[in-house]
Amino acid sequence: MQAVEATDIVKTFGDVVALDGVSLEFEEGIVYGLLGPNGAGKTTLIRVLTTLLKPDSGTATVAGVDAINDPVGVRTKIGLAGQFAAVDEFLTGRENVEMVGQLYNLSKEEASSRADDVLERINLIDAADRPVRTYSGGMRRRLDLAASMVGRPEVLFLDEPTTGIDPGSRLDLWDLIEELVEGGTTLLLTTQYLDEADRLADRIGVIDHGKLIDEGTSDELKDRTGGSVVEVHVAEQDRSTAASALTPVAGGELITEGQAFMIPAGRGAETLTDAVRALDDVGVKAQDIGLRRPTLDDVFLTLTGHRAQEDSEPDAEPARRGRR
Ligand SMILES: Nc1ncnc2c1ncn2[C@@H]1O[C@H](COP(=O)(O)OP(=O)(O)OP(=O)(O)O)[C@@H](O)[C@H]1O
Ligand SMILES: [Mg+2]
């Protein structure tokens, strides 16, 4: 069965077209990552699929149930952790999770034992009996995630689950998400981070201005972006010597970006080694040299011709990394 099957979803708010005909489909048992910049429409799509918002047009089923016309039927099959933690300040962490469990029609005992389990897994057991108003921002997010899992939903929706979470806890969360998926949960997560989609998602959809503009595995997207580059910084007086030495390494395609030289690194670390040697041969010491994997920004630039950050300067050479 398909976990999610959405066709031509349109949602406007006044003049703003938040979703401009999004179609999305994926099977059970996978992690689907929806990647997009601020305002792309990620939260709006999640709200439609989780029955919190009616689209202007389009159809959607989640776990085989009509998400637009049978919201009650869908709600028992899904879990949601929204972009902003929806937790009750005055209840304890444990009470929050138990309360959500009861919304899934679990008995008091069952809700309580599952609450223990998820709080343990999400590393909140020590703080479980404190009121949430004493929690930090990251703890609230984790609590919200715990609550979204307590009903053991078939399909779990996580809207930017690690935004605002420190790097260490972020890694813990990734582990937890991976465990959940091994346990059979299907997951739709949104993120602004390619590394997160990379690590967790089996398939990635790129959304921009309310449209799904590309879809594929992480490797496929990166390949379309032009793969990795070696980025080299040298002192001003060494620039021309370095350029001649690096041009053959770049196969004649040496790219200058601001103060940096960019070498398409089709051979990954080997290209990096070659660049180091080439500079060494002409006696130039790099100020900085490194292998750079494509970022979300690079994917965006290639796919859309603009940077993910809307307010930045338009790039003068939008296709500089080219398509392979
Ligand atoms: N309730 C609303 N009323 C008016 N406009 C809205 C509403 N909800 C969303 N929008 C607009 O719809 C567009 C998509 O918003 P959405 O929240 O779905 O983006 P997003 O991809 O989740 O962004 P972010 O990464 O910042 O969370 C934006 O232009 C936003 O301003
Ligand atoms: Mg959002």
CATH number of the CATH domain containing 203: 3.40.50.300
Of the candidates 310, 309, 304, the one whose C-alpha atom is nearest the C-alpha of residue 318 is 304
Write the residue with the smallest CA distance to atom 30 of ligand 1: 39
Per-residue pLDDT, 53: 95
Ligand nearest, relative to CA of residue 207: 1
Per-residue pLDDT, 173: 84
9: CA distance to ligand 1 center in Å?
15
227: CA distance to ligand 2 center in Å?
28
Range of the structural domain that residue 45 is part of: 2-222
Domains contained in the chain, number: 2
**Model-level pTM?**
0.79
Q: Residue 9 carries which side chain, given as an amino acid letter?
A: I
Domain stops at, among 206, 222, 238: 222
Residue pair 49/6 in contact (Cβ under 8 Å)? The answer is: yes
C-alpha 310, offset from chain centre = 18
Residue pair 2/61 in contact (Cβ under 8 Å)? The answer is: yes
Per-residue pLDDT, 57: 98
The CB of 36 under 6 Å from ligand 1? The reply is: yes
54/176 same-domain check: yes
**Phi-psi region for residue 138, left (φ > 0), alpha (ψ -120 to 50) or beta?**
alpha
Per-residue pLDDT, 316: 36
- Asked whether residue 173 is domain-assigned, the answer is yes
Atom from ligand 1 closest to the CA of residue 47: 18
Q: For residue 198, what are its two tokens?
A: 């990379």
**In CATH, what number is assigned to the domain containing residue 237?**
3.30.70
The CB of 227 under 6 Å from ligand 1? The reply is: no
DSSP alpha helix (H) spans, 215-307: 218-225, 239-249, 269-281, 296-304
169/25 same-domain check: yes
User: In this structure, are strands 211-216 and 260-264 parallel, antiparallel, or unpaired?
Assistant: unpaired
Write the residue with the smallest CA distance to atom 4 of ligand 1: 13
Per-residue pLDDT, 309: 54
160: CA distance to ligand 1 center in Å?
13
10/59 same-domain check: yes
pLDDT < 50 positions in the chain: 310-324
The CB of 34 under 6 Å from ligand 1? The reply is: no
Per-residue pLDDT, 293: 78
161/284 same-domain check: no
Ligand nearest, relative to CA of residue 192: 1
